[in-house]
Every structure is written in structure tokens, then in C-alpha cells.
Structure 1
């Protein structure tokens, strides 16, 4: 009979599960809705979070937020952050910046503050907290598959963490981008896994041994 291993060395990093992305009416929801529905990413992220908590690991929430007027950014943003500014997304004090109800932080979870860019490590104390808790393996889920999740994945890989990316707990702005990132980029810097396989690995094999061919 399988049983859940205790994994205090494991962290699940949830990236930008906020209303502006994940809820109907959010400023960027229409852009990610199709992929969200295809992957079932919110339900998978909820399941992963419950499994990690049950295994004695830690769930980290890494929302992005900006003051009204986006004073933290250059006066002439470009690329993905220009899209954030132009759509008035993730402004402090608004409904859009709040973490979705399904993934509200639970007792024992850690809320990482200060995310202003793509990489969840860059402007936050995520690395310090992970290391202080003795966490050596992290699983990633969230938005966008080929942007903030990918940036965080690459950074975690460079920092020496064992990295898992939950391919069906992420979403991009198109199915083509989703498939390209999870099929070609993710295997270079992580062990890509579906959530069911990740959860199963907590009852037996180590995460890195439970991947499908990576």
C-alpha cells in the first residue's frame, strides 16, 4: 500500500494565480482562457497544493503587484510588462491583484511579496526563504507558461534547485505557445510532469525519477 512520503525539502511555487489572469472579468483572462480550460490548470494546481501540504512540503504564493501608476517600472515599458501597464493589470488594492479563492493561502503557506518582474526570484526573498527552510526541490505552476513560469524555472535551475514544472498546471496565451514551451524548453531546465504523475511520485519514487523520459 502506497503512502505519502514526508517531503520537508519540497516546495510548490504558485505563480500569479490572480484574478486578472485566472478569473472571468480579469483584465487578462480572455487571453489565457482557452489554454486554462484545455489544461484544467486551476484544478491541477489545487490538487498539487493539497498533495504538497499533505507531504509536509511548503506552498509558496508569488503574486505580482504594482502601485497605481506603475512607478516601479520604466516610463517606457516594452514587451510583456507593457501589456500589463496597457491593460491596467495587477494594481495594488484592486480585485484583479488578489489571489483567486481556489488557491487562497492556507496556514503554513508562505506569501512571497515584492514580485515586480518575470522571475519570481529576482525582486523577492524567495531564494532566501527556500534555503532557510532546507528546500532543495521545487515544483512550478502558474502564468504564463512561457514567461514568468519559464523565467522562474531557468533561474531555479541555475541556482541549483531540482526543478519540476507541472505542465497541466500552467497556461499561456495560445495553445501553440503552451506546447512549444512545455515540449521543447521545459525539458532543458526542469523535469516536466503532469500533476497526476507529480502527486503519484509523492507516494513512491522521487520526483526526478517519476518523469516520462526526461
Structure 2
């Protein structure tokens, strides 16, 4: 890997780190677990966030809309994913499943962007404004799901002019085929770098402070 990062202008975007996705009794965990365990998702998320904080890279939380009664019921055309959220109440507001994983909690001063309704963390939120206010030009994306919210947020970041890094083993999807599509087929069309957790950590450690 030859990428270097200006640590003052780099942010790790942590997408949807909810208990429903990442914890043992989460509503989606049983479907995510095979891929998550194969890639070492939770350990790698912990490592990326710890490295970012140690090197002064900004950590930004990018949360999905937490379901609450009435969501999507009167919409003209909710997506299939939104229909599933409406049916199963994924990451419901006020529930344990709608809380961030205990190992992935915001620290004082870290940005928690407005919740996104669809897949992109940028659409109809303050994420772009927050990143610009901190002078961020480079974003590394981790979290879930690789082929939906991570990919949509990364593509939107590219369109807005950010340098995009995907961290292939600090995300997961509901099947190996979805992971393959995210990192081998789609990612190379828009991301400047697709790396492993250890490659990203080495790049951050080796970048000038």
C-alpha cells in the first residue's frame, strides 16, 4: 500500500455500529455473523477506531435512522430495506438494539452525524458540512453493511470530492457474494484505496503528524 494520509485532514467514518447489527442478540446479527466472524469484523473495528484515536484521526459516527412508530407508513415508495425495518423494527429508537455497540461508543468531542434515512450517510444529513468544518479531505469507511450503507456513503463521498478508502475486513455483509461485489467489483470503480485493517493502521502510523 502506498497511500499516505494527512492525519489532520483524515476521518474514519464508522457506519451504523448498532447492537442490532453487531451484538450477539441483535436482530440482524445472526444473518451477519458468518461473514463478520470470517473477516474478524469486531476486532478490526476496535483496532481501526483505536488507531484513529491514537494518531489524532477524527472518528465520525454515521448512524442509520432509528425506527420509531409511524416511520415509512405513509411514504409513497419506501425501499425494500426500509420495509424490512418497518416490519422488524431494526435499531428501534429507545431500544437496546438501537444503541451503539458497547465497544464502539463516541468519545467527547467526536461527531455523531444526523441519522440517514436511506443508505448514504451524506444524503439529507449534516455529514458533509461537519467534515468540511474540520477540514477533512480523506475518509476511511468502516462498519456495516458493506454493499449498502458503506458503499452508498463511500460513493457519495467520492462525488463530493473526498479521497475514499474502503477497509475490506472492517466491514461485513449478509453473504460472501455481497462482500465480493462491494470490494472486488464495485469498490475499484470509485475508491482510491481498498485496504485491510493492518494496512490502514500501518499507513496512519507511518503518515507525518
| TM-score normalised by the chain length of structure 1 | 0.88
State the distance in 2 between where 1:143 and 1:152 align: 11
Q: Which residue of 1 aligns with 2:181?
A: 180
Q: Which residue of 1 aligns with 2:79?
A: 78
Q: Which residue of 2 aligns with 1:107?
A: 108
Q: Is 1:119 equivalent to 2:93 in the alignment?
A: no
Aligned pairs (5 A) from 1:1-214: 7-64=7-64, 65-71=66-72, 74=75, 77-190=78-191, 191-204=193-206
Aligned residues of 1:10 and 1:52 also touching (Cα < 8 A): no
State the distance in 2 between where 1:66 and 1:20 align: 12
Cα deviation, residue 28, structure 1: 1.2
Cα deviation, residue 69, structure 1: 2.9
State the distance in 1 between where 2:129 and 2:67 align: 22
How many residue pairs are counted as aligned between the two chains? 203
Aligned residues of 1:139 and 1:164 also touching (Cα < 8 A): yes
| TM-score normalised by the chain length of structure 2 | 0.90
1:55-81 deviation digits (Å, cap 9, x = unpaired): 212101112113223158726533222
Give the RMSD, CA atoms, in angstroms.
Answer: 2.0
Cα deviation, residue 175, structure 1: 1.1
State the secondary structure of the residue aligned to 2:130.
Answer: helix
Aligned residues of 2:67 and 2:85 also touching (Cα < 8 A): no
Gaps of 5+ in 2: none
Cα deviation, residue 46, structure 1: 1.2
Gaps of 5+ in 1: 207-214
1:50-105 deviation digits (Å, cap 9, x = unpaired): 11112212101112113223158726533222222222112111111100001111
